[in-house]
Amino acid sequence: MRKGRLEAFSDGVIAIIITIMVLELKVPHGEDIASLKPLVPIIISYVLSFIYIGIYWNNHHHMMQGVESINGTILWANLHLLFWLSLVPFVTAWMGENHFAQVPVALYGFVLLMNAIAYSILSNLLIKRHGKNSALALAVGSGTKGKISVAIYITAILLSLVSWWMGFLLYVVVATIWFIPDKRIEKKLDHEPYAEEKL
Amino acid sequence: MRKGRLEAFSDGVIAIIITIMVLELKVPHGEDIASLKPLVPIIISYVLSFIYIGIYWNNHHHMMQGVESINGTILWANLHLLFWLSLVPFVTAWMGENHFAQVPVALYGFVLLMNAIAYSILSNLLIKRHGKNSALALAVGSGTKGKISVAIYITAILLSLVSWWMGFLLYVVVATIWFIPDKRIEKKLDHEPYAEEKL
Amino acid sequence: MRKGRLEAFSDGVIAIIITIMVLELKVPHGEDIASLKPLVPIIISYVLSFIYIGIYWNNHHHMMQGVESINGTILWANLHLLFWLSLVPFVTAWMGENHFAQVPVALYGFVLLMNAIAYSILSNLLIKRHGKNSALALAVGSGTKGKISVAIYITAILLSLVSWWMGFLLYVVVATIWFIPDKRIEKKLDHEPYAEEKL
Amino acid sequence: MRKGRLEAFSDGVIAIIITIMVLELKVPHGEDIASLKPLVPIIISYVLSFIYIGIYWNNHHHMMQGVESINGTILWANLHLLFWLSLVPFVTAWMGENHFAQVPVALYGFVLLMNAIAYSILSNLLIKRHGKNSALALAVGSGTKGKISVAIYITAILLSLVSWWMGFLLYVVVATIWFIPDKRIEKKLDHEPYAEEKL
């Protein structure tokens, strides 16, 4: 099976997910700068989720570049990932509209955790199909970064039930882990066709 | 006529359908876990419909891989399928928001039935165009699975007017029929370029 | 300039337009069949608009198959068409929610008229670029069908201010003109790479 | 890294942005022509933003035609541009629903300014990667037009706090600068594969 339509479909779904989040930025009734104030937590949530969805799209993009063929199980593993990504706009809005209350912050972390697990399942299936010594497997790496992320998410969910900002801070930490080292990976990418670790 | 844009357009429409369903998950006003409780039936409906749309996308994907050329009638048969798929978010929301009341559950089944019929029309037209001995015809198969699905849908619609859970259970059964045997088809897929039965 | 991204972008916008119309099918509060009754005019509007958008997508698809290269003016002529298409969901909803009142039915016709004019501008620019004897020009044809459509739209707009059903009937007539003869064109399509008249 | 999916993803996001703006055209309750009157400022805002998004899509399209390869930083610079573009529907709706009040008009200009800066960052990174003498660099040009736009946006934001129509008029001026000279660029485009200045 060819991967073209899987990429196109995933691009479509991720493009919609990243864009419909902005629909939660409800137009305020007032016309002064003060009427934007209640939107501040919603915008902060939106920025964080935009970065997360961006990271997933980037990683999905990189990983798929190394894929040579897929099968039905991989199609479903990919749909499973898209399912959990599709819940990001909902938890983003709930967290933002409740000004980072504890339960919404914890649920936000739960959805991030499920996304990380779904991505891990997808990348494991792809590596299994292509072989442990394939270019894909080398590019995806040992998955250490992904395991650290899962550990931080679980810590964050528990801590957010104590104090919301501890959870939120840890979500920012995970995003930073995935965002910053891109610079380092880039150098490899200029030499090799792709290089990616699993989330 | 080439099939490229038909695939791209169908991917776009199906990606939007599968994603806008999540907009029915209205953000609750409360910030505790209890405020999520009314969303449970909506989430269950969403999961079932996500799986159904995923099955249609997978089958459409497989079938189209064997297509060599299309014509105007096939374009319209495809739009006809997309029309009935586009009603899935509406019936999903109605069923979820009414906690699986009998009439919404029956209407949900009716839309699934129309989808199955529309898919059947599309695959018949494609087989007619490519010939009964074409690789496409062999891949799509005899359509037994599709006929069984139609029979179960009709039974489910009638039973759901007696008791909602009988209809709902049968919808889960049809989804399972299409979901599970993917494993078996997969092995064929690794040898042949595609393999698919009609829904 | 290559046409690939123009096709992809148009497919994306048209896919979204045809799908967001279904968001106007607001989920009713009741759970019986009677609570669906107020939705009947909205569903009728939706079906008509779905067919119209489908016709435009089909014709756009056919015409673009014959296109070899584009320029900035053509990009804007295409965006101009997408602008008028993007207003179809609005007028569809207004017409449906007001049970085919005279002014909404007339405005619906006005948007259809502007779409027809925008499509005509686009096809004229494409023919001008490819030459009057190009395969594209032969495929698009003399545009008689397009001119008849414009005349019917203007008549429909005026008549709908007298009685809504006269306007509505004429919109159905134009859709039928474009929908039915596809059978005839198809035979040509099986021999030639494309064949299309302008809307 | 190949540019195909970056283009496809950007097309998807821009197609959604340009289309969801029309969702702000809420269907009026009345059925006469007068009930459309409150929508006039919203439609004017929509037309302006549609043209702006159209300009960005055209320029993105042109610039990407000259791109040979990308890297992780460019992926993020592109996502950064998409982020600011995604805020256009929000500021468009706020400006339209408040009948061009001063603060919304100024904020609209701020989002346009950030878009121009994001586009400038993206084109600078692309030129850096391809070299100052690359076909891409020649096509994108010196960026004079982009710098003028930024200066006009800043002036417009400040003036709109004095009187809304001065800001609005300047936004129209910038759109015109980018819209009209397409004719001149076109001639170059017929000879060269692409030609574009940065916004």
Indicate yes or no: CB of A27 within 8 angstroms of CB of D82: no
Indicate yes or no: CB of A71 within 8 angstroms of CB of B183: no
Whole-angstrom distance, CA of residue D168 vs CA of residue D108? 9
More confident of the two residues C158 and A134: C158
Q: In degrees rounded to 5, what are phi and psi of residue C94?
A: -65, -45
Residues in A touching B185 (Cβ below 8 Å): 72
pLDDT at B184 over 80: no
Whole-angstrom distance, CA of residue D146 vs CA of residue A111? 41
Give me the pLDDT at residue C181, please: 53
Most A CBs within 10 Å: which of D94, D100, D157, as the mutation test of the A interface?
A: D94
Touching chains, B (3+ CB pairs < 8 A): A, C
- CA-only gyration radius of chain A, Å: 18
Give me the pLDDT at residue A54, please: 95
- Answer whether B3's CB lies under 8 Å from B11's CB: no
More confident of the two residues B145 and B91: B91
Whole-angstrom distance, CA of residue D154 vs CA of residue D149? 9
Give me the pLDDT at residue D181, please: 53
Nearest Cα residue to B160 out of C38, C22, C33, C35: C33
Give me the pLDDT at residue B174, please: 94
- Answer whether A155's CB lies under 8 Å from A170's CB: yes
Nearest Cα residue to C27 out of A116, A172, B95, B10: B95
Below-70 pLDDT ranges, chain D: 1, 181-199
More confident of the two residues D64 and B141: D64
Whether B98 has its CB under 8 Å from any CB of chain C: the answer is yes
Torsion angle, CA of D177/D183/D187/D193, rounded to 10 degrees? 70
Whether C11 has its CB under 8 Å from any CB of chain B: the answer is yes
Domain ranges of chain A: 4-191
Whole-angstrom distance, CA of residue D70 vs CA of residue C58? 34
Give me the pLDDT at residue D98, please: 92
More confident of the two residues B120 and C143: B120
Nearest Cα residue to B99 out of B53, B47, B44: B44
Nearest chain B CA: its distance from C117 CA (Å): 23
Below-50 pLDDT ranges, chain A: 182-186, 189, 192-199
Indicate yes or no: CB of A9 within 8 angstroms of CB of B8: no
The mean predicted confidence, pLDDT, of chain C is 88
Whole-angstrom distance, CA of residue D186 vs CA of residue C85? 26
Whether A112 has its CB under 8 Å from any CB of chain D: the answer is no
Q: Which residue of B has its CA nearest to C50?
A: B83
Give me the pLDDT at residue A128, please: 92
pLDDT band at B48 (very low <50, low <70, confident <90, very high): very high
Q: Per the structure block, which two tokens stand in for A121?
A: 């399942």
pLDDT at C47 over 90: yes
Whole-angstrom distance, CA of residue A152 vs CA of residue B103? 46
Whether B5 has its CB under 8 Å from any CB of chain C: the answer is yes
Whether C190 has its CB under 8 Å from any CB of chain B: the answer is yes
Whether B18 has its CB under 8 Å from any CB of chain A: the answer is yes
Query: If you write DSSP's letter for every residue of chain D in order, what string do you get?
Result: --SHHHHHHHHHHHHHHHHHGGGGSPPPS--SGGGGGGGHHHHHHHHHHHHHHHHHHHHHHHHHHT-----HHHHHHHHHHHHHHHTHHHHHHHHHHTTS-HHHHHHHHHHHHHHHHHHHHHHHHHHHHH-TTSHHHHHH---HHHHHHHHHHHHHHHHHTT-HHHHHHHHHHHHHHHHTTHHHHHHHHHHSS------
Q: Which residue of A has its CA nearest to B193?
A: A1
Those residues whose C-beta lies under 8 Å from the C-beta of residue A26, and which sit 6 or more positions away, are: none
Most D CBs within 10 Å: which of C14, C79, C164, as the mutation test of the D interface?
A: C79
Partner D, chain A 143-182, Cβ-Cβ below 8 Å: 179, 182
Whole-angstrom distance, CA of residue B66 vs CA of residue B127? 10
Indicate yes or no: CB of B189 within 8 angstroms of CB of A104: no
Helix (H, G, I), strand (E, B) or coil at D99: coil
Whether B93 has its CB under 8 Å from any CB of chain C: the answer is yes
What's the whole-number mean pLDDT along residues C50-73? 91
Q: What is the pTM of this model?
A: 0.90
The sign one gets for the Cα dihedral A143, A144, A146, A151 is positive
Burial of B123 (0-12, 13-18, 19+ CB in 10 A): buried
Whole-angstrom distance, CA of residue C146 vs CA of residue C112? 12
What's the whole-number mean pLDDT along residues B127-155? 88
Most C CBs within 10 Å: which of D16, D22, D60, D67, as the mutation test of the C interface?
A: D22
More confident of the two residues C107 and A72: C107
Q: How far is CA A51 from CA A30, A54, A55, A171, in A?
A: 29, 5, 6, 11
Question: Which residue among B9, B72, B103 sits closest to C11, beta carbon to beta carbon?
Answer: B9
Whether D34 has its CB under 8 Å from any CB of chain C: the answer is no
**Beta-carbon pairs below 8 A across chains A and B:** 86
Indicate yes or no: CB of A71 within 8 angstroms of CB of B22: no
Whole-angstrom distance, CA of residue B5 vs CA of residue B18? 20
Q: How far is CA A148 from CA A153, A170, C154, D173, in A?
A: 9, 12, 66, 51
Indicate yes or no: CB of A182 within 8 angstroms of CB of D76: yes
Q: CB-hemisphere CA count at 13 Å for A164?
A: 14
Residues in A touching D93 (Cβ below 8 Å): 27
Whole-angstrom distance, CA of residue D61 vs CA of residue A19? 20
Nearest chain C CA: its distance from B103 CA (Å): 6
Angle between the N-to-C axes of helices D40-65 and C4-20, in degrees from 0 to 180, rounded to the nearest 10: 150
pLDDT at C126 over 90: yes
Q: Which residue of C has its CA nearest to B9?
A: C11
Residues in A touching B65 (Cβ below 8 Å): 1-2
Torsion angle, CA of B23/B27/B32/B37, rounded to 10 degrees? -50
Whether A40 has its CB under 8 Å from any CB of chain B: the answer is no
Whether B13 has its CB under 8 Å from any CB of chain C: the answer is yes
B61 alpha-carbon distance from chain centroid: 12
Counting every residue written for chain B, the total comes to: 199
Nearest Cα residue to C175 out of D25, A89, B76: B76
| Greatest mean pLDDT among B142-156, C133-147, D41-55 | D41-55
